[in-house]
Amino acid sequence: MRLLVCAMETSSNIHLAELCKHLDDSVEMFGIFDKKLGTPNYDLEQLAIMGFVDALKRLPFFLKLKKEMAQLAKDADKILLMDSSGFNLPLAKAIHKLYPEKEIIYYILPQAWAWKKGRIPKIEKYCTTLCSILPFEQDYYNKKEKISYVGHPLLDEISDYKTTVVQTDKIVYMPGSRRTEISNLMPIFKEVASAIPNKEHLLVIPAKFDKEYIQKVYGNLDGFSISNDAHTALKDAEYGFICSGTATLEASIIGTPFTLSYIAKKFDYWLGSRLVKLPYVGLANIFFDEMGKGAIHSEFLQENVTTQNLLNDYKQMNKEAFISNAKILREYLQNGSSSKVAQIIQQ
């Protein structure tokens, strides 16, 4: 089987790596994905963008890329799209128009429940099979026969959890994987680290970053130990300061108490706040809100991301309650998704 894959995000490729463990050797992947997983047609590292402004600047490139990917679908038995709705949904439309008989599987769906619910009919029209990783997501779709909850990929990737409050000498810092996120949060994280004595301050940096990039974007890292393994760092740490994103859900599943922080470009935040009508930005908090429960962790956004706010949260958080809520979260998500999605692809 030839499988055309479009996985443009770092997190998507982590999930794709787990999925590959369950695919037969006869499945040949091509398209856009991490070169560690095979032989892609396009270099993943060239595709990263950050925010609405960056996306607009690179629009001609992505329009050309969409056209080329749609043409590649001619040689595919099936198509697998992962996350990246800004690119993958127009790609699904283009492929459906050229080859309406092709099966298009969407794994890690666009967050249409959060914003632009009008996209749901388009997702249902252009895609054959919808693999949801959020238990409540199916409720927003009309064609129930197309969508199913397959579990959450993080439960495939994380198997070691904290069941009691752990006191260690480590604090973990995760300022994100994109340049703007890192540049905005690192000055504050450095101040926080300086204000917490007698601890090892563990900074998680993506392994793909070279020394020159790290020095330019992160600056002076005196006082930090460096880790490239997020899950191990979270497991070892007693607390975390984490940029909004998948890492906050990872920490919530593992059971490492943390504070969420996020500083976006002013225009991006202004626009996003008008498009997304949710009480929280952290996925664990969104899940708990769907269950009718309160937030599992604090969130500080934009000008509220201050050294003092983060330090106060570190000192005041009810860590016992967080551990209990982490168990509830794991039960809510039920199981991993990789095996189920592999079955869907190969059936």
Q: How do residues 126-174 score in pLDDT, each as one tens digit? A: 999 999 999 999 999 999 999 999 999 999 999 899 999 988 999 999 9
The CATH number covering residue 222 comes to 3.40.50.2000
pLDDT in tens, 283-328: 999 999 989 898 999 999 999 999 999 999 999 999 999 999 999 9
pLDDT of residue 269: 57
Q: Average the pLDDT over 79-86 and give the result.
A: 93
Domain for residue 23, yes or no? yes
Asked if the structure places residue 229 within a domain, the reply is yes
For the segment 31-43, the average pLDDT, to the nearest whole number, is 92
For 262-288, what is each residue's pLDDT tens digit?
998 776 656 566 556 677 889 999 999
pTM of the predicted model as reported, rounded to 2 decimal places: 0.85
Indicate whether 144 and 269 sit together in one domain: no
Taking a C-beta distance cutoff of 8 angstroms, is the pair 131, 337 a contact?
A: yes
Whether residues 190 and 288 fall in one domain:
yes
Mark whether 142 and 174 lie in a shared domain: no
The reply to whether 343 falls in a domain is no
Q: Are 166 and 151 a contacting pair, CB within 8 Å?
A: no
Show Cβ contacts of residue 171 under 8 Å, excluding neighbours closer than 6 positions.
Answer: 193, 196, 199, 200, 201, 202, 237, 238, 239, 240, 241
pLDDT band at 11 (very low <50, low <70, confident <90, very high): confident
Q: Are residues 248 and 284 in the same domain?
A: yes
Q: What are 144's two structure tokens? A: 């129930």
- pLDDT at 228 exceeding the cut of 70: yes
Q: Looking at the predicted structure, is the pLDDT value of residue 34 above 70?
A: yes
> CA–CA distance from 293 to each of 285, 289, 347 (Å)?
9, 5, 38
Torsion of CA 298, 138, 11, 325, to 10 degrees: 30
Q: What mean pLDDT, rounded, does the chain reach?
A: 91
Domain range enclosing 242: 170-333
Whether pLDDT at 86 is above 70? yes
Per-residue pLDDT, 56:
62
Give percent of the chain with pLDDT exceeding 70.
93
> In the predicted model, is pLDDT for residue 114 greater than 80?
no
Q: Which of 120, 149, 178 is the last residue of a domain?
A: 149
Residue 288 · residue 295 · CB < 8 Å: yes
Q: Residue 66 above 60 pLDDT?
A: yes
Same domain for 13 and 140: yes
For residue 338 the two structure tokens come to: 């990789």
Overall domain count for the chain: 2
Confidence at residue 208, expressed as pLDDT on a 0 to 100 scale: 82
pLDDT at 240 > cutoff 80: yes
Tell me the mean pLDDT in the region 67-77: 96
Paired sense of beta strands 129-132 and 103-107, if any:
parallel
pLDDT (0 to 100) of residue 118: 80
pLDDT for 271: 57
What amino acid is encoded at 162 in this protein?
K
Q: What percent of the chain has pLDDT over 90?
A: 78
Q: Is 161 a member of any domain?
A: no
Are 95 and 184 in a shared domain?
no
pLDDT of residue 265: 73
Question: Please, are residues 32 and 44 in contact by the beta-carbon 8 Å criterion?
Answer: yes
Does residue 258 lie within any of the structural domains?
yes
Return d(Cα 176, Cα 247) in angstroms, integer.
Answer: 8
Determine how β-strand 258-262 pairs with β-strand 298-301.
parallel
Is 155 inside any structural domain? no
What is the tens place of the pLDDT at every residue in 170-223? 999 999 988 889 999 999 999 999 999 999 999 999 888 999 999 999 999 999
* 206 inside domain: yes
Last residue of a domain, one of 149, 182, 214: 149
Give yes or no: residues 90 and 207 share one domain. Answer: no
